[in-house]
Amino acid sequence: MNLILLGPPGAGKGTQAKLLEERYGLAQVSTGDMLRAEVKSGSELGQKAKAIMERGELMPDSIMIAMLGARVAQPDASRGFILDGFPRTVPQAEALDVLLRETGMPLAHVIELQVDDAALVERISGRFTCAKCGEGYHDRFKACRIAGTCDKCGGTEFIRRADDNAATVGARLEAYHRQTAPLLPYYGAQGKLRVVDGMAEMAEVSRQIEAILGAPRG
Ligand code: AMP
């Protein structure tokens, strides 16, 4: 089963993708994580990505389409994948349609996490992750049980994304509304779009998504 999670930055796509990865055995494909790995490695692509991400703008479609194509050709994607952060523009969605058709990997659902803009700034500015295992936390909504120690792996180092600040969030939301929101009618016309209430508690959002997907097999 191949899925897309759509929604503005801070809607909970990454969190839900991780849960679906565990529960349904799907591969989480996050183009944002892939770009952050490039930035960390200091590659040429990473240097270009760093500047664009800090401005809250989108990377060029051609680069992202090539990156996604290489990623879904990896063996782990053959068991099914969840796209988190791709596509973000209509040309990316069109390229994805071609890729999925050519490789015989049908798209089951496109799930939109609906969240009010007003809630996003607060959600984004407080979030951080464990440097070791990637578990997500939030200053207000999900603190570590023991301050400074990851609940999941005991790690003591945490990362805050460079673009998770009030100044960049505005540009990221603007990019979402202008460039990514047109994907909602695009997938609506394909009969693939399902909407869940991204303002609900994390567990309730998962429940709504699982109601769409059906129980995991096996
Ligand atoms: P994310 O982690 O999905 O919020 O992505 C972080 C940043 O990476 C975005 O603000 C964009 O600058 C860039 N990015 C990630 N995925 C894409 C994409 N599919 N197309 C263009 N830019 C992207």
pLDDT, tens digit, for every residue of 11-29? Answer: 999 999 999 999 999 999 9
d(CA 106, CA 179): 24
pLDDT, tens digit, for every residue of 144-185? Answer: 999 999 999 999 999 999 999 888 999 999 999 999 999 999
13 is catalytic: yes
36 is catalytic: no
**172 ligand 1 Cβ < 6 A:** yes
Q: Which of 36, 50, 88, 123 is catalytic?
A: 88
pLDDT value, residue 50: 97
End-to-end, the C-alpha distance of the chain in Å comes to 14
Q: Which atom of ligand 1 is nearest to the CA of 89?
A: 20
d(CA 30, CA 4): 10
| Residue 195: pLDDT over 90 | yes
CA nearest ligand 1 atom 8, residue:
32
pLDDT value, residue 91: 98
Q: Which of 142, 161, 192, 194 is catalytic?
A: 161
Of the pLDDT bands very low, low, confident and very high (cuts 50, 70, 90), residue 107 is very high
pLDDT value, residue 217: 76
Of the pLDDT bands very low, low, confident and very high (cuts 50, 70, 90), residue 135 is very high
140 is catalytic: no
Of the pLDDT bands very low, low, confident and very high (cuts 50, 70, 90), residue 8 is very high
18 is catalytic: no
The pairing of strands 2-6 and 107-114 is: parallel
CA nearest ligand 1 atom 1, residue:
32
Answer for the pair 121, 168: CB distance below 8 angstroms, yes or no: no
Is the pTM higher than 0.85?
A: yes
Distance of alpha carbon 110 from the chain centroid: 12
pLDDT value, residue 218: 62
pLDDT value, residue 166: 84
Averaged pLDDT for residues 110-114: 98
pLDDT, tens digit, for every residue of 35-88? Answer: 999 999 999 999 999 999 999 999 999 999 999 999 999 999 999 999 999 999
pLDDT value, residue 34: 97
| Residue 110: pLDDT over 90 | yes
Q: What is the DSSP annotation of the chain?
A: -EEEEE--TTSSHHHHHHHHHHHH-PEEEEHHHHHHHHHHHT-HHHHHHHHHHHHT-PPPHHHHHHHHHHHHTSGGGGG-EEEES---SHHHHHHHHHHHHHHT--EEEEEEEE--HHHHHHHHHTEEEETTT--EEETTTB--SBTTB-TTT----EE--TT-SHHHHHHHHHHIIIIITTHHHHHHHTT-EEEEETTS-HHHHHHHHHHHH-SPP-
